[in-house]
Structure 1
Amino acid sequence: MSDAVWISITNATGMFGITFSLFSNCTLLALILCKVSPVKGPYKSILIFFCCFTMFYSAVEMFLRPIIHIYDDTLFVMQRKWFQMSKFASHLTTTMYCGCYAMSFVLFALQFLYRYIATCMPQQVVKFQGIRFFFWIFGAFCIALSWESAAFFLFPQSDRTQKVFLNIVNQSYGLDANFVDYVPYRYFENDEGTRKVIMLNIIGIIQHVIIMLVSFGTLFYCAFKTYSTISKHKGMSIKTKELQMQLFRALAVQAAIPMIFMYAPLLFLYACPLINLQLGALANYQTIMGQLYPGVDPFAVLFLVNVYRRTLLNIICLRTTSLKESSIQENSRKYEAAVSPRGDPCRPKSSTVSPKC
């Protein structure tokens, strides 16, 4: 198969991906913002921000139209420009694609961290309320910015990478090099027949891997502790525990999705130049994964949270009445009990809407 075929494939998956992402995320947003939505408080804010970011990520994918190619000892992350721009702006937008990956990783961990705190340390939930919530988002943005900065400064283009890049763009994909920019993930250079490590690039890849491992480690630890607490808590009613488990299962699936679509494939991709595995244009499998992921992820919440699933299926089946009002309110109260931390003094016992603290 010609390498140029991947242009058509990624174009098609890119268009499908952004359409699918807008549909799934807008649907989830509409259900979250509904008055009878069971999700309240800081977790609601986290989900809203996550949906908005995911749609932004899809828009970035569509704008950059990325291509990934491995040649010799270099991983090329390329973008196809829609129009001419300065060298600085072009390279900055290319590294923004890398930063979006980091933001996704951090937001995964943030969701699990909140569920852990709400379940195991409910008295600490105040740290996610009000203005403090924006500090968490700012922290996530700073981590993503550090990833983008590493991609921008620690993986510079060189004469050798430029020569290889021109060969790939012209011979493999038949593109105009003036409308393509790239970030070269290169770990070694040959100096008079001797292979030497490029320390600047190694520092950059270590920074990337640390962010991935810390975010996944946080995710895994919080998931384990949350599940253990829900399973062992004896003061929780059967229905409340069931609802807690629904939310946990939704998060667990949301963790499995990025593991399949992003974590594992990306780590493998970074390792290929180290082990001299020549994937060539086949590395675009990660481009496709990245394009499809934003549309798939929201379905974990849409289908594993009963209230959302029933409402969505009723809409699809064109039923005039989805759920009786009393049933919706009852489910909303149950979910609020599950989502809100135990002992929250701001939550009334009989209201379906949490008051502002």
Structure 2
Amino acid sequence: MLQPLIHLYDDTLFLIQRKRFDLSKTITRPQYVGYFGGCYFYYWLALILSLATSWGLTAAFMFPQTNRTTESFLYVIETSYDLDPYWADYVAYKYFDTDENHVRHINILSFFGVLQHGLVISLSFGTLFYCGVQTYVNIKKHTGMSEKTRSLQLQLFRALVAQTCLPMFMMYIPIGFMFSCPYFDLQLGAVTNYQTVMAQLYPGIDPFVVLYLIDAYRRIILNSICPRFLYKKILRKTVSQPDVSMFSVSVKPSISSNGLTSTSRMS
């Protein structure tokens, strides 16, 4: 049995970030852009809130508290956190029950609760992965775009990949590992706070990925922090590329005995 949890999980676990859709729908299906704005936005918001509500209801009703889970909770709250149980509550992810003969049986109610949580997490991560792959494939197909546009699209795609990997390591993997601990009888104690801290830090770290990978944003930040460094970098780039406008050719017509000729002078 997993040690009872005293953490508060926000609805952000399944918040499908709209920026993933923004880049994917613009490149892969531009004709469907209208379905993500106006009144349709509230439909998407209702879908997200319904999934978050189903997550909360599942945790409240499919993982009931028993005498054994309460005893385990009191033990953990005293040894790992040194807190007053009056100020804390828990959700008991109890996967197995033990009968009088000390034989373990699967807790069917908790099994379906974990299955619902797994489906929500899989749907969230699957959406991010699918949009990322479709964006990459369509960027490769559009060979007629200019180099500047292609460079910007590739920068946006790299930011998309980084922003997909970031929640995977900060939210999905830690929470998935926590849910799998009961199958291996692992007692983590206060170590489970790691995934709570990572989930809270993720919204603050996520914007820095875009600020670092997009050239325009990065130049603005570097210019505000160290303008002299950015000026020297641009100056070296300018000197390394000679300016062809320094050389001009002037043509001066002249008349000779053979007809109209011209002489050129390099300046």
TM-score by length of 1: 0.60
Residue 272 of structure 1 aligns to a residue in which SS?
helix
Q: 1:286 aligns with which of 192, 195, 211?
A: 195
Displacement after TM superposition at 1:189 (Å): 1.3
| 1:132-143 pair list within 5 angstroms | 132-143=40-51
CA–CA distance in structure 1, aligned partners of residues 57 and 222 of structure 2: 44
Q: 2:173 aligns with which of 248, 264, 288?
A: 264
CA contact (8 A) 1:161 1:184 kept: yes
2:115 matches 1:203: no
2:8 matches 1:100: no
| 1:1-357 pair list within 5 angstroms | 73-79=1-7, 94=8, 97-103=9-15, 106-107=16-17, 110-192=18-100, 193-317=102-226
CA–CA distance in structure 1, aligned partners of residues 218 and 38 of structure 2: 29
Describe the shift of the 1:314–1:185 C-alpha distance in structure 2 as closer, same or farther (beyond 3 A).
Answer: same
CA–CA distance in structure 2, aligned partners of residues 222 and 233 of structure 1: 17
Hey, what does 1:33 align to over in structure 2? none
Displacement after TM superposition at 1:278 (Å): 2.5
**Deviation sequence 1:124-167 (CA, Å, 0-9, x none):** 10111222122212211211111111111111211111111111
Residue 183 of structure 1 aligns to a residue in which SS?
coil
Superposed CA RMSD in Å reads 2.0
Q: Report the AA paired with residue 36 of structure 2.
A: F
**Deviation sequence 1:153-206 (CA, Å, 0-9, x none):** 111211111111111112332211111111111111111112111111111111
Residue segments in structure 2 that go unaligned for 5+ positions in a row = 232-267
Higher-Rg member (1/2): 2
Residue segments in structure 1 that go unaligned for 5+ positions in a row = 1-72, 80-93, 323-357
Q: How many residues align?
A: 229
Hey, what does 1:26 align to over in structure 2? none
Hey, what does 1:331 align to over in structure 2? none
CA–CA distance in structure 1, aligned partners of residues 141 and 3 of structure 2: 47
If asked which structure has higher relative contact order (CA below 8 Å, sep 6+), I would say: 1
CA–CA distance in structure 2, aligned partners of residues 134 and 310 of structure 1: 36
CA contact (8 A) 2:76 2:189 kept: no
Hey, what does 1:339 align to over in structure 2? none
Q: Report the AA paired with residue 258 of structure 1.
A: P
**Deviation sequence 1:298-322 (CA, Å, 0-9, x none):** 1111212222222222233378xx9
CA–CA distance in structure 2, aligned partners of residues 161 and 256 of structure 1: 35
